[in-house]
Amino acid sequence: MISIHSVTSDEYPDQTNNPINSHENQPDKPEEACGVFGIYAPGENVAKLTYFGLYALQHRGQESAGIATFEGTQVHLHKDMGLVSQVFNESILDQLPGSLAVGHTRYSTTGSSRKVNAQPAVLETRLGSLALAHNGNLVNTVQLRQELLEKKCNLITTTDSEMIAFAIAEAINAGADWLEGSIQAFHRCQGAFSLVIGTPNGVMGVRDTNGIRPLVIGTLAGNPVRYVLASETCGLDIIGAEYLRDVEPGELVWITESGLASYHWSQKPQRKLCIFEMIYFARPDSVMHNESLYSYRMRLGHQLAKESFVDADIVFGVPDSGIPAAIGFSQASGVAYAEGLIKNRYVGRTFIQPTQTMRESGIRMKLNPLKDVLAGKRVIIVDDSIVRGTTSRKLVKTLREAGAVEVHMRISSPPVTHPCFYGIDTDSQDQLIAATKSVAEIAKQLEVDSLAYLSWEGMLEATREDTNSFCSACFTGDYPVAIPEQVKRSKLSLEKVVV
């Protein structure tokens, strides 16, 4: 039985046609897909713990949020458009009782930004309800959707996440148990998927065979120990859970009253974590490879200074993601670190279109220059990436208007030349500035005095891990999971770029 507390109408229109979301007004960054969270903790307020877990993962998606709790065989579900703090309040959370929960915060990749596509996706099966939260993107959605439609599955959304849920339900309804049915479904899925799945019996955490998107396991102190799943360790920290380990590529962990059990559903896992998770997406206080990502991003800045030093008066980062690399650049180069830009941290998504004058003034709704810091200075501005170049050009103009006499831009990653098919919302290849222009041409378009990117080798070496264990397809075009031609043609429009 499913108890649904959210309204059924789409309160927000499809944002793809909203003028505020045109290419000119979108952030000049790749956008992440989602954050997922799961918890098995009988006796605890699992809805409230999930709320705070999602709150910590808000950076991974700001379009919709949802929580499903299991109270025996009954599922309680609430999901809606908006930020986590907008979708939930104390009263709503009080209506989500249970011993386990699954949560999700979403940025749309497959499937537009509409309430019907909000997660968790909840379905009924022979063994009871399942609630699925997904981070990533399948590349065989066309084939899988056709197979499910031929089996008369009643698909009600346009997301690949729902297709995974239906594939599991189909196997279970054919006689499989929760584990067997889930594993059968995963073998039908190609691409990137980190999943948290709630059932009446327990919670599953799953990663695809390459582990492209992250998923970690934490523990809550008590007797017995309770377990938590989250996209990043910051989702554990906020509720006082201790990081235990990552869910491994090709692994399924099954958390029940008996504790945690592990199943390796893929026979040939090959780790290919998205390198952009480390450069930009994940929060700097999240831990990967036994250190905070803040430390890795500082090393990127060290390497950037070694590769592309330029004499200047001050160096600063684009808030917030460029700051650790800018500090690293300062430490390695001796150029003084300062704050040149102040970010308005209370600006969220707005559905109100700015006036023409505001649009022409650039990006000051989110970033404002410190004129007395910049006036008369030769400045180095460090950012983590450039995708389209639109925001970067406005930013350079803003710095010059604030009095900077030289503007040198340094990027703590290589040029983004290829689109992502694994859960990052990037344009088609011809919209990526580095796919169509040389570094010198980009520098001219941005109107900077100099521009330099970090080398591909430097980016990977700074991880201090096996450099073959990362997906860097957005820089090289070498995709670890084969992309079907029909999907490839939708985004890949140019020659392969060699790094």
Report the pLDDT value the prediction gives residue 379, as an integer from 0 to 100: 98
| Cis preceding-peptide flag for 224 (omega within 30 of 0) | yes
Residue type, 52: F
Q: Which residues belong to the annotated binding site for Mg(2+)?
A: 321, 383-384
Q: Which residues belong to the annotated binding site?
A: 274, 321, 383-384, 420, 471, 474
Six token digits for residue 351: 């559905």
Least confident of 167-171, 286-290, 356-360: 356-360
d(CA 69, CA 92): 12
Q: What pLDDT band is residue 152 in, cutting at 50, 70 and 90?
A: confident
Write the CB contacts of 238 (distance below 8 Å, at least 6 apart in sequence).
52, 53, 55, 56
Sign of CA dihedral 481, 150, 492, 297: negative
DSSP collapsed to 3 states, the chain:
CEEECCCCCCCCCCHHHCHHHCCCCCCCCCECCEEEEEEECCCCCHHHHHHHHHHHCHHHCCCEEEEEEEECCEEEEEEEECCHHHHCCHHHHHCCCCCEEEEEEECCCCCCCCHHHCCCEEEEECCEEEEEEEEEEECCHHHHHHHHHHCCCCCCCCCHHHHHHHHHHHHHHCCCCHHHHHHHHHCCCCEEEEEEEECCCCEEEEECCCCCCCCEEEEECCCCCEEEEECCCHHHHCCCCEEEEECCCCEEEEEECCEEEEEECCCCCCCCEEHHHHHHHCCCCCEECCEEHHHHHHHHHHHHHHHHCCCCCEEEECCCCCHHHHHHHHHHHCCEECCCEEECCCCCCCCCCCCHHHHHCCCCCCEEECHHHHCCCEEEEEECCCCCCHHHHHHHHHHHHCCCCEEEEEECCCCCCCCCCCCCECCCHHHCHHHHCCHHHHHHHHCCCEEEECCHHHHHHCCCCCHHHEECHHHHCCCCCCCCHHHHHHHCCCCCCCC
Q: State the Rg of the chain over Cα.
A: 23
Q: Which residue has the tokens 């968790």?
A: 120
Average pLDDT over residues 427-445: 92
d(CA 194, CA 37): 10
Q: Which residue has the higher pLDDT, 8 or 455?
A: 455
Q: Which residue has the higher pLDDT, 168 or 17?
A: 168
pLDDT at 142 over 90: no
Q: Mind listing the pLDDT tens digit for each residue in 233-269?
A: 999 999 999 999 999 999 999 999 999 999 999 988 9
Query: Exposure of 52 by Cβ count < 10 A (0-12 exposed, 13-18 middle, 19+ buried)?
Result: middle
| Residues with a known catalytic role | 34
- What is the biggest distance separating any 2 CA atoms in the chain, rounded to whole angstroms? 73
Mean pLDDT of the chain: 89
Instruction: Please name each of the domains of the chain with its CATH number.
Output: 35-271 (3.60.20.10), 292-345+355-465 (3.40.50.2020)
Average pLDDT over residues 101-121: 77
d(CA 445, CA 434): 11
Q: Which residues belong to the annotated binding site for [4Fe-4S] cluster?
A: 274, 420, 471, 474
Report the pLDDT value the prediction gives residue 6, as an integer from 0 to 100: 45
pLDDT at 31 over 80: no
* 386-to-1, 140, 391 alpha-carbon distances in Å: 48, 29, 9
Six token digits for residue 435: 């796919």
Q: What pLDDT band is residue 108 in, cutting at 50, 70 and 90?
A: low
Sign of CA dihedral 405, 437, 16, 276: negative
**Cβ(341)–Cβ(368) under 8 Å?**
yes
* 448-to-79, 338, 423 alpha-carbon distances in Å: 45, 19, 32
pLDDT at 366 over 50: yes
- How far does the chain reach from its first CA to its final CA, in angstroms? 54
Question: To the nearest 10°, the Cα dihedral for 493, 434, 141, 158?
Answer: -110
**pTM score, two decimals?**
0.90
